Every structure is written in C-alpha cells, then in structure tokens.
Amino acid sequence: MTADRSGELTPQLIETGTWSDELVSRTLPIVDVPFVSIGGGLGSLAAVDLLRIAGLRTDDIRVVTTIDRPHQTYRLLAENSQIPVEERIRSDASSTIDNIWGFPSYATREAMSAKGLANKIAPLRHVLVEPVLDDYYTPTAGQVYSSVDAEANRIGWNKMLLKGVVRMVRRRVGGGYFTVYTPKAGQDPTHGGTKRVAVRSRHVHIAVGYPGVRFLPDLQKYRKTHKDFSRVVNAYENHDYVYEELRRRPSTVMVRGSGIVASRILVRLLDDREKRGANTTVIHLFRNYVREPQGDRATFRRDGRNGFAYQGFNYPKAAWGGQLKEQLESLDGDARKDLIGRLGGTNTPHRRAWDDQLERGRHGGWYRQFEGQVQSVAPGQDQTVQTTVADRAGRTIQLEANFIVDATGLESDISEHRVLADLLDYGGAGRNPLGRLDVEPSFEVRGTRSEPGRMYASGSIALGGYYAGVDSFLGLQYAALRIHDDLASAGFGTRLGSMRSVKEWWRWMRQQPVP
Amino acid sequence: MTPTLVGRIQTRLFLLATVGLGWTILISPILVQQDGSVGRVYAITISAVFLTAVFGVGWELLYHALQQYRWEKDWPILYSLVVAFPEGFLVWISVLVIFFGSPPPFLVFWFHFLSTWSLVWLVAVGPIKVLLPRWRYQGGRIVEK
C-alpha cells in the first residue's frame, strides 16, 4: 500500500487502540518529539516551565494548543466571571505560576515595583499579618498575566508551540504515544498541506482545562424548552450585555450559587449600582444557606455566616502541602472523595469590602437573600423569568427576575472533551471517584502506560485524585514537580536538585532566558 | 507555610544548625564586652542555639496541637515571628540557671537571640524554597519521605 499522507483518519486507525508506525504512516505524516503537552494553558506552562528549568531543551518539548498565550483561557474565564486585570484573584502570594519556587512572592514583587514608601510597605505588611489581622493577600490578575508572559518568553514558549486542534492520543506499538492533531491553517509543521499530523512522542502530558461549563439542570431545561439564551446566562460565559442592559433600565437579577464565582458577580452588580448608576435589585438564591460555622468538631470547623462558607482558597491551605495533603494521599475511593468534599465544596473567601457591600445592599433593600429548592423556571410577565421555589418551611415562593446568572461554576463531564473521551474509550484511562481522570500520586494517568512512555494529566480534569488543589496555580506546579520527578526516575531528564535549583533561581531573578 | 509535625521539627533543627549556628559564630565576637572573653560569649550564644533546638521540639508539639484548631491547618508567618518571645524567655531563664553565679549580660543574650530568630524566620519564609524546591509541598520536611 502506498502512503498518501493526506492526513485521513482511516476506520482502521479509529478502531485500533494501539497503533504501529506502519499503520500510522500510511495516511498521516509523523513528527517526532520526546515530550508533548496538550493544552497550552497554565497547566502546560507549569509543566514545561519546570522541565525546562530542570534541563530539557526546547527541541525536547512540543505544546499542542489552539491559544497564543498560556493565560489566554484563564483570562477569558476570569474576565467573563468579572475579574478585570486590576482586580485581585483568589490565590496565595507564594503560588507564583511564573516561578517554580514561590519566591519572591507576588506580594514581594508588588512591593518592589510599587512607587512610594507606603505602597511598598502595604503588600509586605499584608502578607506579614495575614490571615490573622487581615484577610489573605492575593495578587492582581494583571500581575499574574504579565509575569506569565515574561516567563513564557524566558523559556522559549513560542518555539515549542504546535498550533492546532488535538483529536486523540493513542498508544504506540513499541512504546510511547501518537498525538493526532489538525494544524491551524498555514502552520503544518510538515509543510505538506496535510489535514492531520501525528506527533510521535515518548511521553504525553494532558492539561486541557475545563471540558466546558454546565448550567444547573433547571436552568438548562428552561433554556432548552423556551429557547431563551439571553436572560439565563452562565457566569463563565460572556454576558457583558447583561450589565449594559442593567445600566439602561431598572431591573432585577437573580444570582444562583454562593461560591467565589457568585461573589464576583455580586460585586459587579452591586458596584454598578453603587458607582455606575444602575438601578438593580439583586435576588440571591441559596440552595444551602450557611448560618453558622460548619463542622461538628472544634478541630474541623469552617467559618460560615450570612449564607456563605468562608475560607481563603478553594481548599484549606494545608491541602496544598501540609497535614491535609498527607492525609489525602493516604486515602482511596469514597474516603478520598468524602474528604475532598468536606474540605472544598461551595465556599468563598472572606473579604471585608465584600461583606460591607452586601450589608449596605441588605439595608438598602437592593440585595435580598432567599433560600430554597427550585421547583421550576418559566417565562414570567414583561420579559421576566419566573422561578418557583420551595422554601425551608415548604412554602412556595415566586421570584421574578429580568436575568438569571448561573454562578454555580459547574463543569461539564470530562467525556465532553473529545481527547478525554477517546482516552476513556481507547486509551485505557479510567475515572476516579469524582468521575474525572484517574491518576497516580505522580499524576500518571492510570492504565495508559506505554513503556517506556508515560502519560500524565494535570488540572481540573484530575480532580478527585490524591491532591485536592489540582485546579490552582500551586496545584499545577505541584503536578509539574511530581511529573518531572517521575520522568527523571524513568530516566527522562535529571532530577532537579539543590545546586541546579539555586542556579536556575538566580537566572530567573536576572530574567535571563533558559538555554 | 503549612507544616506537618515532622516538617516543623526538621525545619527548625535544619535552620538552627545552618543559618542559626552560622550567624552565631559570626556575630559572637562582636558581642564581647570589656571584661568578658570570646570563649564566654560563645558558651552563652551556642548554649542558646542548642536550647532553642532542644526546647523547640516541645514547642513544636504545642504549636502542632494549636494548629489543629485552625481550619486551614496552616501556621501564619506572624505566629512564627511572635513566638520568639515566649521561646526566648524560656531559653533566657535556662541560660541564667546554667551560668548561675556569672549571669550573661541581658543585651548580649537578647540581641543574639532575636537576631538569630529573625534571620532563621526570614530564610524560612522565602530562600529555603530555592535551596529545597520540594520543601513547601511536604510540610517543611528536609529529609524526603
């Protein structure tokens, strides 16, 4: 049979779980590289950054991605959920995604670049007294983006990019993997004008982020039944027109959810009311209203009041590197799922300014809280949406709003992502107790080994494993370190030791490019 | 920093043995007073570092117990700074007992103790992570599991 290299995925390829070089080369051009990271967002950046610092060259690594900058998707989701560049995100001072050491922290760097003594001292004072005398310090989104750009440039990010859409990853006969992707127009690395390219690598890392956003079932049903996609919106999707409309005429908005995403939406709505002339009334609907601290033991009790459960970050801090991390590592199955649930769940950070703003709204009558189970969502009068709720006493209440914002932050099932679905069907991957990709403590995807090759996954798709905070800057960096250690133990690269660490840190401090 | 009990103790002993002792060796000759000798100052300052390490194991047990009442199970850096005072007081009393008859000068002891403590604290909140890139993920362990 002659090779046509047209890039066709033949039925034989699709139906075969493990591919031989001969089978692939019949229709697909092959590109060789030792390590491939799929995604190109902050998860890929964290992994590639560490591997580069540990000694791998740009030629050893390819990142297959549809985006130009590593923070692009993060930024899109942040801005949709109302975190503009000058706002502070919910992340620790030392969770520096552009710096594997966490030193100097975002706070120190903010101090160094600030003008005037008072502005220099403020962030340092803040981290010194957090969280005892003040809320946790957190960096601005803008600081994160600009430092990510700098680090991407420093490690030669653009040289490692393969722009295009990944279709699947399959194991290779004889070891390693094939990653099939459709190059972006004009960016085919084989210059043959092919439809698809197979990247042959020893190792693969998958960091594709959220498979997609999901609506609450009752809202999804309403949108589908009534074909109304403009009045019921998701906080993670662009809904700026809602705020524009709210500034034009007095309206009522219902917010669903009580986690960090809801907090952001509330801030935007109430800021618009207090500072930008919007005459908006906010109805905040809680499914579980938190009245008091949660937990039945003094040694396991989370702060909570006014409807919200409070903690600094999405898990208690020790889940990233202290005793809770160790505890989680020792658990499996339902016990692990249960602990992750109790440490996480719906929660938001306590911020004094937010607290005060909600209090003003409560007093003024433009912020109203309701608790109950939604019975139905249907079109109301005058282009409103009517939500029927059964409250705690079993009474039925009708709530009318011009818009409903789903700020529950629900994510789609991993099988919504084509690459992950294929991995579950053909790659030997399985699900963990939370339904995401089942990974080892080293973040290797269980069941996908292709000796001497290994496949890893990090980020949100690995939630439910031995590490709770996977979907965070520090979690991505922790995963990167574990992946690097595992690869080094398998003979791929040299384990990052103290000498090299110090040397590379000094290079980072001088912002010198990594060779 | 979110320490585990083992990590706390290891970090304390490691930093006192390196940064703490190094600083002590450097600073002690400067602390010699007119009527004293370098040997005597070293006896005082090195005893203080040694006692901070030994008593420290006990203190860390207490801190670990208190940490259980924090939801975050972390240990704010402010706490690690202010506990210098109760810890220093205990070491001061002990040094007075050891050197009974010729008590060490108050200023010499406290200058040495607080400067050593601050330096160890400063290294623990930042630079140690450069030397040991896995330290912050393993609760302050120096010796990896």
Sketch the domain layout of chain B as residue ranges: 5-137
Give B18 to chain A, closest Cα distance, Å: 15
pLDDT tens digits, B48-68: 999 999 999 999 999 999 999
Of A357, A381, A406, which closes a domain?
A406
Residue B81 pLDDT > 50: yes
Q: Which of A12, A69, A13, A77 is nearest to A40 (CA)?
A: A69
- The packing angle between helices A240-248 and A260-275, to 10°, is 30
Same domain for A360 and A270: yes
Q: Best residue in B4, B72, B134, B138 to probe A by mutation, most A CBs within 10 Å?
A: B72
Chain centroid to Cα A512, Å, comes to: 29
pLDDT-wise least confident of A67-76, A99-108, A192-201, B10-19: A192-201
The per-residue pLDDT for A4 is: 63
One domain for residues A133 and A199? no
Q: Hey, what are A364's tokens?
A: 């003024």
Domain contains A327: no
Tell me if A501 sits within 8 A of B133, measured CB to CB: yes
Shortest CA distance from B125: residue in chain A: A103
What CA–CA distances, in Å, run from A276 to A199, A246, A279? 52, 10, 9
What are the strands, taking DSSP E only, across A146-196?
161-172, 177-183
Residue A347 CA to residue A236 CA, distance in Å, equals 17
Which residues in chain A have Cβ-Cβ distances shorter than 8 Å to B129? 94, 101-103
* Nearest residue to A202 (alpha-carbon basis) of A456, A461, A457, A513: A456
Is residue A353 in a domain? yes
* The pair of three-digit structure tokens given for residue A177, joined into one six-digit string: 């993997």
Which residue is it, tokens 């799929």?
A38
Which residues sit opposite A183 in a β-bridge?
Answer: A164
Best interface-test mutation with B: which of A101, A314, A476, A500 has the largest number of B CBs within 10 A? A101
Contacts of B18 in chain A (CB under 8 A): none
Position B35 pLDDT exceeds 80:
no
Q: A366 to each of A426, A483, A501, A508, how far by Cα in Å?
A: 53, 50, 54, 49
Chain A residues inside the 8 Å CB shell of B79: 132
Using pLDDT thresholds of 50, 70 and 90, give the confidence band for residue A5: confident
Q: Residue A386's domain is classified under what CATH number?
A: 3.50.50.60
- Residues A430, A468: one domain? yes
pLDDT at A2 over 60: no
**A386 plus A465 within the same structural domain:** no
Which residues are CB-contacts of A312 (< 8 A; sequence separation ≥ 6)?
A90, A92, A131, A135, A136, A349, A350, B72
Cβ contact (<8 Å) for A317 and B74? yes
Residue A221 has pLDDT above 60, yes or no: yes
DSSP symbol at A398: E
Q: Has residue A333 been placed in a domain? A: no
Nearest C-alpha neighbor of A4 from the set A200, A201, A192, A199: A192
- Asked if the model's pLDDT at residue A1 lies above 70, the reply is no
**3-state DSSP assignment of residue A333:** helix
Q: Return the pLDDT at B103.
A: 87
Q: Are strands A300-302 and A304-305 parallel, antiparallel or unpaired?
A: unpaired
Residue pLDDT, tens place only, A297-311: 999 999 999 999 999
Q: Report yes or no on A419 lying in a domain.
A: yes
Residues A192 and A273 in one domain: no
* Cα–Cα distance for residue pair A140/A124, rounded to 1 Å: 15
Q: Are residues A163 and A32 in the same domain?
A: yes
H/E stretch holding A386: strand A385-390
Rounded Cα distance between A347 and A355, Å, is 14
Instruction: Return the pLDDT at A225.
Output: 97
Q: Angle at CA A144, nearest 5°, toward A142 and A148? A: 120
Q: Is the peptide bond before A316 cis (omega within 30 degrees of 0)?
A: no
Q: Based on the structure, what is the number of domains in chain A? A: 3
The rounded distance, in Å, linking the Cα atoms of A188 and A162 is 8
Note whether residue A438 is domain-resident.
yes
Give the gap in angstroms from C-alpha B139 to the nearest C-alpha of chain A: 4
Q: Which range is least confidently modeled, A169-173, A183-187, A236-240, B18-22?
A: A183-187
Kindly give, in sequence order, each residue whose CB lies less than 8 Å from that of residue A509, ignoring residues fewer than 6 positions away: none
Please check whether residues A160 and A283 belong to one and the same domain: no
Mark whether A207 and A258 lie in a shared domain.
no
Exposure class string for A440-470: b at 16+ Cβ within 10 A, else e: eebbbbbebebeebbbbbbbbbbbbbbbbbb
Q: What are A424-458's pLDDT values in tens digits? A: 999 999 999 999 999 999 999 999 999 999 999 99
Query: Are A285 and A376 in a shared domain?
Result: yes
Report the alpha-carbon distance of residue A154 to residue A505 in Å, rounded.
13
**Are residues A264 and A353 located together in one domain of the fold?**
yes
Range(s) of the domain holding residue A119: 76-146
The C-alpha atoms of residue A432 and residue A334 are separated, in whole angstroms, by 10
Subunit contact B71:A322, Cβ cutoff 8 A: no
Residue that is written with structure tokens 């996480």 in the block:
A344
Residues of chain A positioned with their CB less than 8 A from the CB of B77: 127-128
Tell me how far apart the alpha carbons of residues A280 and A427 are, in angstroms, rounded to a whole number.
Answer: 51
CB contact under 8 A, A322 and B3: yes
For residue A296, what pLDDT is reported?
A: 86
The lowest-confidence range among A39-43, A120-124, A182-186, B137-141 is: A182-186
Q: Contact B71/A103, CB-based, under 8 Å? A: no
In this prediction, residue A3 carries a pLDDT of 54
Model ipTM over 0.85:
yes
Nearest CB partner across the interface for A505, out of B4, B130, B139:
B130
Cβ-contact A7, A197 below 8 angstroms: yes
Looking at residue A193, its pLDDT comes to 80
Mention every residue, 6+ apart, whose C-beta is less than 8 A from residue B70: none
- Tell me: cis bond preceding A452? Omega within 30 of 0 counts: yes
Provide, as residue numbers in chain A, all residues whose Cβ is less than 8 Å from the Cβ of B143.
none
Numbered residues of chain A with Cβ closer than 8 Å to any chain B Cβ: 94, 100-105, 108, 127-133, 295, 298-303, 311-312, 316-318, 320-326, 478, 481, 496, 498, 501-502, 505
- Out of A173-182, A209-218, A471-480, A500-509, which region has the weakest mean confidence (pLDDT)? A209-218
Listed range (A64-73, A115-124, A183-192) with the worst mean pLDDT: A183-192
Q: Are residues A68 and A98 in the same domain?
A: no
Q: How far is CA A183 from CA A162, A170, A193, B123, in A?
A: 7, 18, 9, 48
> Which of A95, A112, A146 corresponds to the end of one domain?
A146
